[in-house]
Amino acid sequence: MTPHLQAVALACERDWRMLFENLELQLNAGDMLQISGPNGSGKTSLLRLLSGLMAPTHGQVLLNGQPLAEQRSELARGLLWIGHAAGIKDLLTAEENLAWLCALHQPAGHEAMWRALEAVGLRGFEDVPCHTLSAGQQRRVALARLYLDSPPLWILDEPFTALDKQGVAQLEQHLARHCEQGGMVVLTTHHTLGLVPAGYRNIDLGHWSV
């Protein structure tokens, strides 16, 4: 079976330093892939390569067996990216931010956005400007996208940042459920995952560092 997402002999150089090389990975329906490694090992760079936001120094990323660069529209339809920064606009409300974020991929209706915000514990904060929210609440606004009608592949950079214990446990359950339903997750996190799906794997970039 052709992997949904695959890296072949992947290498990444940043600031004249090779972060990793000859990296191989593949992702199929139901898989969760955690990228780990020491600071500066290229974890975020690898996520950006898999998302098509960067070009590799060597090697290639394949989507359904074809070069990623040739499938930009297909990738855009099938990928949800949430970076390390929440990406929240301070002057917009929680609902307005969610609408703006969804417009980049798939617009959502008013009721769907309110349900998503409720799912992440922000009921009653829908019309509140985000500059008044805590860092954890702002992170929850960004993560509310995961509770909408979303694509199968989620690439998440440190999604547990600023979440409390309840938020962490809820997100773990949601990610595992997404994989159990045939979705895919690639993530970086310094958090030790307490709940993972059957298709969980970990890649330590320290093994590919130069």
pLDDT in the model for residue 208 = 67
| Domain range summary for the chain, segments of one domain joined by + | 5-207
User: What pLDDT is recorded for position 16?
Assistant: 87
What is the per-residue pLDDT across 66-97, written as a single tens digit (0 to 9) for each?
999 888 888 888 999 999 888 899 999 999 99
Q: Are 29 and 183 in contact (CB under 8 A)?
A: yes
Nearest alpha-carbon partner for 54 in 131, 157, 172, 141: 157
pLDDT at 209 over 80: no
Of 3.90.1170.50, 3.40.50.410, 3.40.630.30, 3.40.50.300, the CATH number of 5-207 is 3.40.50.300
Please list the residues that pair with 187 across neighbouring strands. 34, 156
Helix, strand or coil, per DSSP, at residue 110: helix
Within 13 Å of residue 186, how many CA atoms lie on the same side as its CB? Answer: 25
Please tell me what DSSP assigns to residue 19.
Answer: E
pTM value is 0.94
Radius of gyration of the chain (CA): 17
Share the mean pLDDT of the chain.
92
Segment 175-197 mean pLDDT: 95
Angle of the 94-103 helix axis to the 135-143 helix axis, nearest 10? 40
